[in-house]
Amino acid sequence: MMTPPQPQTDDIRRDLQASLEARRELGPGYDEHFLNALVEKLTASVHQQVASAPRPPAPARGLGPEQRVAIAICSMIFAIPLIAIAADAAQLAGVIAVVTMVALVNLFASR
């Protein structure tokens, strides 16, 4: 089933028919003028359709839920050996530093 033509299409069709009838009356000497007028109308119609077309949504800024979960899992995996190394090398101060850094990484990733 064919959809009915849009109003813009009807206008262009009428203009084209009028141009063809005028060409028949005036002869081929005015072909370039008729073609230029038709091109301008078609270009204006295309620009109007492009301007009124829906725009795709802008990509979301920040990390998605899957990426935040991945960062949380990776931070826990790396935190375990880092805490062990920090506890051996710097005792309580090293453990506090590593835990703070892991917490900050997760905090900034969640924003």
What are 18-58's pLDDT values in tens digits?
A: 877 877 787 777 777 777 877 888 888 888 888 888 888 87
Integer Cα distance of 61 and 54 in angstroms: 21
Structure tokens at 15: 């203009």
- Segment 68-82 shows an average pLDDT of 92
- pLDDT for residue 5: 47
Do 38 and 16 lie in a common domain? yes
| 2 within a domain of the structure (yes/no) | no
**Burial (CB count <10 Å: 0-12, 13-18, 19+), residue 83:** middle
Q: Do 23 and 65 fall within a single domain? A: no
In a domain, 16, yes or no: yes
**Residue 101 included in any domain:** yes
Which tokens sit at 8? Answer: 């813009």
Enclosing domain of residue 12:
7-52
